[in-house]
A and B are shown apart, each in its own frame.
Chain A
Protein backbone atom coordinates (compact mmCIF):
# COMPACT_ATOMS: atom_id res chain seq x y z
CA UNK A 1 0.00 0.00 0.00
CA UNK A 2 1.28 3.39 -0.89
CA UNK A 3 1.47 5.72 2.07
CA UNK A 4 -0.05 9.06 1.45
CA UNK A 5 2.33 11.92 1.57
CA UNK A 6 2.01 13.73 4.91
CA UNK A 7 1.89 17.13 3.28
CA UNK A 8 -0.78 16.05 0.85
CA UNK A 9 -2.91 14.70 3.70
CA UNK A 10 -2.57 17.88 5.72
CA UNK A 11 -3.48 20.08 2.76
CA UNK A 12 -6.54 17.98 2.00
CA UNK A 13 -7.68 17.94 5.62
CA UNK A 14 -7.09 21.66 5.99
CA UNK A 15 -9.11 22.47 2.89
CA UNK A 16 -11.95 20.15 3.91
CA UNK A 17 -12.23 21.72 7.36
CA UNK A 18 -11.84 25.23 5.98
CA UNK A 19 -14.89 24.54 3.84
CA UNK A 20 -16.82 23.35 6.89
CA UNK A 21 -15.79 26.48 8.79
CA UNK A 22 -16.87 28.74 5.95
CA UNK A 23 -20.26 27.06 5.86
CA UNK A 24 -20.73 27.98 9.49
CA UNK A 25 -19.52 31.53 9.27
CA UNK A 26 -22.40 33.90 8.81
CA UNK A 27 -21.83 36.56 6.23
CA UNK A 28 -23.52 39.92 6.05
CA UNK A 29 -25.57 38.99 3.02
CA UNK A 30 -26.42 35.35 3.36
CA UNK A 31 -27.47 33.01 6.10
CA UNK A 32 -25.08 30.21 6.96
CA UNK A 33 -25.51 26.99 5.09
CA UNK A 34 -26.97 24.63 7.61
CA UNK A 35 -25.89 21.27 6.34
CA UNK A 36 -22.33 20.15 6.11
CA UNK A 37 -21.29 17.60 3.57
CA UNK A 38 -20.73 14.23 5.07
CA UNK A 39 -19.29 12.32 7.81
CA UNK A 40 -18.10 13.73 11.03
CA UNK A 41 -19.58 16.65 9.48
CA UNK A 42 -20.92 19.41 11.36
CA UNK A 43 -24.35 20.33 11.83
CA UNK A 44 -25.81 22.71 14.20
CA UNK A 45 -26.85 21.79 17.65
CA UNK A 46 -30.48 20.94 16.96
CA UNK A 47 -29.86 18.42 14.24
CA UNK A 48 -26.66 16.85 15.06
CA UNK A 49 -24.79 14.07 16.72
CA UNK A 50 -23.74 16.56 19.36
CA UNK A 51 -26.83 15.37 21.17
CA UNK A 52 -25.26 11.97 21.51
CA UNK A 53 -22.08 13.41 22.91
CA UNK A 54 -23.15 16.32 25.05
CA UNK A 55 -25.89 16.78 27.60
CA UNK A 56 -28.74 19.18 26.88
CA UNK A 57 -27.46 21.38 29.70
CA UNK A 58 -24.03 21.58 28.10
CA UNK A 59 -25.44 22.46 24.70
CA UNK A 60 -27.84 25.02 26.13
CA UNK A 61 -24.99 26.66 28.03
CA UNK A 62 -23.30 27.28 24.68
CA UNK A 63 -26.25 28.82 22.93
CA UNK A 64 -24.54 29.33 19.62
CA UNK A 65 -24.41 27.82 16.20
CA UNK A 66 -21.22 25.87 16.64
CA UNK A 67 -20.50 22.82 14.56
CA UNK A 68 -19.75 19.67 16.47
CA UNK A 69 -17.11 17.59 14.73
CA UNK A 70 -16.30 15.40 17.66
CA UNK A 71 -16.66 11.75 18.48
CA UNK A 72 -16.75 12.03 22.25
CA UNK A 73 -16.98 14.48 25.11
CA UNK A 74 -13.48 14.79 26.57
CA UNK A 75 -14.38 17.80 28.68
CA UNK A 76 -17.00 15.80 30.57
CA UNK A 77 -14.43 13.15 31.49
CA UNK A 78 -11.46 15.39 32.12
CA UNK A 79 -12.46 16.52 35.63
CA UNK A 80 -11.27 20.06 35.00
CA UNK A 81 -10.76 22.28 38.01
CA UNK A 82 -10.78 26.03 38.52
CA UNK A 83 -7.69 27.95 37.42
CA UNK A 84 -6.37 25.18 35.21
CA UNK A 85 -4.68 25.82 31.86
CA UNK A 86 -6.23 23.67 29.14
CA UNK A 87 -5.03 23.14 25.57
CA UNK A 88 -7.52 21.86 22.97
CA UNK A 89 -5.92 20.31 19.90
CA UNK A 90 -7.92 20.87 16.74
CA UNK A 91 -10.29 23.25 18.43
CA UNK A 92 -12.54 23.68 15.38
CA UNK A 93 -15.49 25.98 16.06
CA UNK A 94 -14.55 26.04 19.73
CA UNK A 95 -17.34 23.98 21.29
CA UNK A 96 -15.12 21.96 23.64
CA UNK A 97 -13.09 25.07 24.52
CA UNK A 98 -16.21 26.90 25.58
CA UNK A 99 -17.41 23.99 27.72
CA UNK A 100 -13.95 23.76 29.28
CA UNK A 101 -13.90 27.52 29.90
CA UNK A 102 -16.96 27.22 32.12
CA UNK A 103 -15.24 24.59 34.22
CA UNK A 104 -11.91 26.31 34.79
CA UNK A 105 -13.55 29.64 35.62
CA UNK A 106 -12.31 33.15 34.93
CA UNK A 107 -8.88 32.46 36.42
CA UNK A 108 -8.36 29.43 34.24
CA UNK A 109 -7.20 29.60 30.66
CA UNK A 110 -8.20 27.71 27.53
CA UNK A 111 -6.07 27.69 24.41
CA UNK A 112 -7.51 26.31 21.21
CA UNK A 113 -5.02 25.22 18.57
CA UNK A 114 -6.09 24.59 14.99
CA UNK A 115 -4.23 24.51 11.68
CA UNK A 116 -7.14 25.89 9.65
CA UNK A 117 -7.34 29.70 9.48
CA UNK A 118 -11.08 29.68 8.74
CA UNK A 119 -11.75 27.50 11.77
CA UNK A 120 -9.72 29.77 14.06
CA UNK A 121 -11.61 32.80 12.77
CA UNK A 122 -14.94 31.03 13.35
CA UNK A 123 -13.93 29.99 16.87
CA UNK A 124 -12.81 33.50 17.71
CA UNK A 125 -16.11 34.94 16.47
CA UNK A 126 -17.98 32.39 18.57
CA UNK A 127 -15.92 33.29 21.66
CA UNK A 128 -16.74 36.94 21.15
CA UNK A 129 -20.44 36.19 20.83
CA UNK A 130 -20.30 34.24 24.07
CA UNK A 131 -18.25 36.98 25.78
CA UNK A 132 -15.73 34.46 27.00
CA UNK A 133 -12.55 36.20 28.08
CA UNK A 134 -10.53 33.17 29.14
CA UNK A 135 -10.43 31.42 25.76
CA UNK A 136 -7.80 32.13 23.12
CA UNK A 137 -7.24 30.58 19.73
CA UNK A 138 -4.10 30.32 17.72
CA UNK A 139 -3.11 28.92 14.39
CA UNK A 140 -0.71 26.08 14.75
CA UNK A 141 -0.02 22.43 14.18
CA UNK A 142 -0.33 19.73 16.78
CA UNK A 143 2.85 18.10 15.47
CA UNK A 144 4.69 21.39 16.11
CA UNK A 145 2.91 23.01 19.02
CA UNK A 146 3.75 26.67 19.61
CA UNK A 147 3.54 26.07 23.33
CA UNK A 148 6.10 26.27 26.12
CA UNK A 149 7.19 22.99 27.69
CA UNK A 150 5.63 22.07 31.06
CA UNK A 151 3.01 24.81 30.85
CA UNK A 152 -0.39 23.10 30.48
CA UNK A 153 -2.48 21.22 33.07
CA UNK A 154 -4.79 19.31 30.74
CA UNK A 155 -4.68 18.59 27.00
CA UNK A 156 -8.00 17.72 25.41
CA UNK A 157 -8.83 16.82 21.82
CA UNK A 158 -11.93 15.54 20.10
CA UNK A 159 -11.69 13.41 16.99
CA UNK A 160 -8.62 15.16 15.63
CA UNK A 161 -5.45 13.19 16.31
CA UNK A 162 -6.57 10.53 13.82
CA UNK A 163 -6.22 13.21 11.13
CA UNK A 164 -2.51 13.61 11.76
CA UNK A 165 -0.09 11.75 9.52
CA UNK A 166 2.46 11.76 12.39
CA UNK A 167 0.71 10.67 15.56
CA UNK A 168 3.98 9.87 17.36
CA UNK A 169 4.95 13.52 17.04
CA UNK A 170 1.55 14.61 18.35
CA UNK A 171 1.79 12.46 21.49
CA UNK A 172 5.40 13.54 22.06
CA UNK A 173 4.34 17.17 21.83
CA UNK A 174 1.41 16.64 24.21
CA UNK A 175 3.80 15.07 26.71
CA UNK A 176 6.24 17.95 26.34
CA UNK A 177 3.74 20.77 26.92
CA UNK A 178 2.02 19.16 29.90
CA UNK A 179 3.11 19.98 33.42
CA UNK A 180 4.47 17.03 35.40
CA UNK A 181 1.33 15.35 36.72
CA UNK A 182 -0.64 16.87 33.86
CA UNK A 183 -3.35 14.98 32.07
CA UNK A 184 -4.25 13.96 28.54
CA UNK A 185 -7.93 13.39 27.78
CA UNK A 186 -8.67 12.71 24.12
CA UNK A 187 -11.61 11.29 22.23
CA UNK A 188 -10.72 9.73 18.92
CA UNK A 189 -11.59 7.19 16.29
CA UNK A 190 -9.81 3.85 16.42
CA UNK A 191 -10.20 0.59 14.58
CA UNK A 192 -10.28 -2.96 15.74
CA UNK A 193 -8.09 -4.53 13.12
CA UNK A 194 -6.21 -2.99 10.22
CA UNK A 195 -8.12 -1.06 7.59
CA UNK A 196 -7.98 -2.25 4.01
CA UNK A 197 -5.57 -0.45 1.71
CA UNK A 198 -8.20 1.19 -0.47
CA UNK A 199 -9.69 2.91 2.57
CA UNK A 200 -6.40 3.89 4.17
CA UNK A 201 -5.27 5.29 0.84
CA UNK A 202 -8.27 7.53 0.36
CA UNK A 203 -7.85 11.20 1.21
CA UNK A 204 -11.61 11.49 1.50
CA UNK A 205 -11.65 8.75 4.09
CA UNK A 206 -8.72 10.41 5.80
CA UNK A 207 -10.54 13.72 6.20
CA UNK A 208 -13.52 11.70 7.35
CA UNK A 209 -11.58 10.48 10.37
CA UNK A 210 -11.43 6.90 9.09
CA UNK A 211 -8.33 6.32 6.97
CA UNK A 212 -5.98 7.84 9.55
CA UNK A 213 -7.49 5.89 12.43
CA UNK A 214 -5.19 3.37 14.07
CA UNK A 215 -5.91 0.08 15.66
CA UNK A 216 -6.83 0.75 19.28
CA UNK A 217 -3.84 -1.12 20.71
CA UNK A 218 -1.43 0.64 18.35
CA UNK A 219 -2.95 3.98 19.35
CA UNK A 220 -2.56 3.23 23.07
CA UNK A 221 0.99 1.96 22.56
CA UNK A 222 1.91 5.27 20.93
CA UNK A 223 0.57 7.12 23.97
CA UNK A 224 2.61 4.90 26.29
CA UNK A 225 5.70 5.30 24.08
CA UNK A 226 5.49 9.07 24.53
CA UNK A 227 5.90 8.52 28.28
CA UNK A 228 2.34 8.55 29.56
CA UNK A 229 1.20 6.35 32.42
CA UNK A 230 -2.09 5.38 34.05
CA UNK A 231 -4.00 4.96 30.80
CA UNK A 232 -7.75 4.64 31.14
CA UNK A 233 -10.02 3.99 28.16
CA UNK A 234 -13.72 4.63 27.86
CA UNK A 235 -15.12 3.05 24.75
CA UNK A 236 -18.09 3.94 22.64
CA UNK A 237 -18.84 1.37 19.99
CA UNK A 238 -22.15 2.76 18.90
CA UNK A 239 -22.31 5.14 15.97
CA UNK A 240 -20.64 8.36 16.86
CA UNK A 241 -21.40 10.59 13.97
CA UNK A 242 -24.37 11.43 11.90
CA UNK A 243 -23.65 9.24 8.92
CA UNK A 244 -24.38 5.56 9.28
CA UNK A 245 -21.95 4.72 6.53
CA UNK A 246 -19.01 6.45 8.07
CA UNK A 247 -17.10 6.51 11.32
CA UNK A 248 -19.92 5.16 13.37
CA UNK A 249 -20.33 1.85 11.73
CA UNK A 250 -18.20 -0.65 9.94
CA UNK A 251 -15.99 -0.31 6.94
CA UNK A 252 -17.09 -2.22 3.85
CA UNK A 253 -14.75 -5.02 4.88
CA UNK A 254 -16.31 -5.27 8.27
CA UNK A 255 -13.51 -3.75 10.28
CA UNK A 256 -14.97 -2.29 13.38
CA UNK A 257 -14.53 1.42 13.77
CA UNK A 258 -15.06 2.81 17.23
CA UNK A 259 -14.75 5.95 19.26
CA UNK A 260 -12.77 5.91 22.47
CA UNK A 261 -11.83 8.48 25.08
CA UNK A 262 -8.37 7.96 26.53
CA UNK A 263 -7.12 9.51 29.73
CA UNK A 264 -3.46 9.34 30.68
CA UNK A 265 -1.01 11.15 32.94
CA UNK A 266 2.46 12.59 32.58
CA UNK A 267 4.39 11.30 35.59
CA UNK A 268 5.10 13.83 38.35
Chain B
Protein backbone atom coordinates (compact mmCIF):
# COMPACT_ATOMS: atom_id res chain seq x y z
CA UNK B 1 0.00 0.00 0.00
CA UNK B 2 1.37 3.38 -0.95
CA UNK B 3 1.34 6.17 1.59
CA UNK B 4 -0.55 8.55 -0.66
CA UNK B 5 -3.46 6.11 -0.64
CA UNK B 6 -4.11 7.19 2.93
CA UNK B 7 -5.78 10.32 1.57
CA UNK B 8 -8.81 8.42 0.35
CA UNK B 9 -8.90 5.56 2.85
CA UNK B 10 -11.67 5.40 5.41
CA UNK B 11 -12.96 2.96 7.99
CA UNK B 12 -15.42 0.64 6.19
CA UNK B 13 -17.84 0.83 9.10
CA UNK B 14 -17.93 4.44 10.39
CA UNK B 15 -16.13 6.05 7.40
CA UNK B 16 -13.87 7.88 9.83
CA UNK B 17 -10.16 8.37 9.31
CA UNK B 18 -7.63 5.64 10.04
CA UNK B 19 -4.34 5.85 11.86
CA UNK B 20 -1.43 4.20 10.09
CA UNK B 21 1.22 2.14 11.84
CA UNK B 22 4.11 0.89 9.70
CA UNK B 23 6.03 -2.25 10.63
CA UNK B 24 7.83 -2.76 7.34
CA UNK B 25 8.24 -0.50 4.33
CA UNK B 26 10.41 -0.32 1.23
CA UNK B 27 11.08 2.61 -1.10
CA UNK B 28 7.76 2.07 -2.88
CA UNK B 29 5.18 1.09 -0.34
CA UNK B 30 4.14 -0.18 3.05
CA UNK B 31 4.61 -3.95 3.24
CA UNK B 32 3.35 -4.69 6.71
CA UNK B 33 1.52 -2.63 9.25
CA UNK B 34 -1.95 -1.71 10.36
CA UNK B 35 -4.71 0.83 10.12
CA UNK B 36 -6.57 1.71 13.31
CA UNK B 37 -10.01 3.27 13.63
CA UNK B 38 -10.24 5.06 16.97
CA UNK B 39 -14.01 5.44 16.87
CA UNK B 40 -14.64 1.73 16.28
CA UNK B 41 -11.57 0.49 18.20
CA UNK B 42 -10.78 -1.82 15.32
CA UNK B 43 -7.42 -2.61 13.75
CA UNK B 44 -7.21 -3.43 10.08
CA UNK B 45 -4.02 -5.28 9.15
CA UNK B 46 -1.77 -4.54 6.17
CA UNK B 47 -0.12 -7.77 5.05
CA UNK B 48 2.05 -8.33 2.00
CA UNK B 49 1.26 -4.70 1.05
CA UNK B 50 -2.49 -5.35 0.95
CA UNK B 51 -4.73 -3.56 3.45
CA UNK B 52 -7.48 -5.81 4.74
CA UNK B 53 -10.43 -3.48 5.08
CA UNK B 54 -13.16 -6.07 5.21
CA UNK B 55 -15.63 -5.33 8.00
CA UNK B 56 -14.34 -6.79 11.29
CA UNK B 57 -16.69 -9.79 11.33
CA UNK B 58 -15.15 -10.99 8.07
CA UNK B 59 -11.53 -10.84 9.21
CA UNK B 60 -9.95 -14.23 9.12
Contact = CB atoms under 8 A, between A and B. Distances in A.
Nearest to A138: B51
A111 B55 CA distance: 18
A121 interface: yes
A137 B15 contact: no
A145 B48 contact: no
Contact of B50 (A115, A120, A151): A120
Size class of A's contact patch?
20 to 34
A141 B9 contact: no
B55 A141 contact: yes
B16 to A, nearest CB: 10
Interface string A135-176: 011111100111111011000000000000000000000001
B2 A136 contact: yes
Contact of B58 (A111, A137, A141, A149): A141
Contacts of B13: 144
Nearest to A133: B28
B49 interface: yes
Contact of A121 (B9, B15, B48): B48
B31 to A, nearest CB: 12
Contact of A138 (B1, B7, B58, B60): B1
A141 B5 CA distance: 17
A144 B50 contact: no
Interface string B24-42: 0000100000000000000
Contacts of B49: 124
Contacts of A136: 1-2, 5
B55 A148 contact: no
A23 B2 CA distance: 28
A262 interface: no
A57 to B, nearest CB: 29
Nearest to B8: A151
Interface of B: 1-2, 5, 7-13, 15, 28, 44, 48-55, 58, 60
Given A115-B54, A145-B12, A151-B7, 6 more contacts: A115-B58, A117-B50, A138-B50, A146-B10, A147-B8, A148-B15
28 contacts: A85-B8, A109-B5, A111-B8, A115-B58, A117-B50, A117-B52, A117-B60, A121-B48, A121-B50, A124-B48, A133-B28, A136-B1, A136-B5, A138-B50, A139-B50, A139-B53, A140-B54, A141-B12, A141-B55, A144-B55, A145-B10, A146-B9, A146-B10, A146-B12, A146-B51, A149-B10, A151-B8, A152-B8
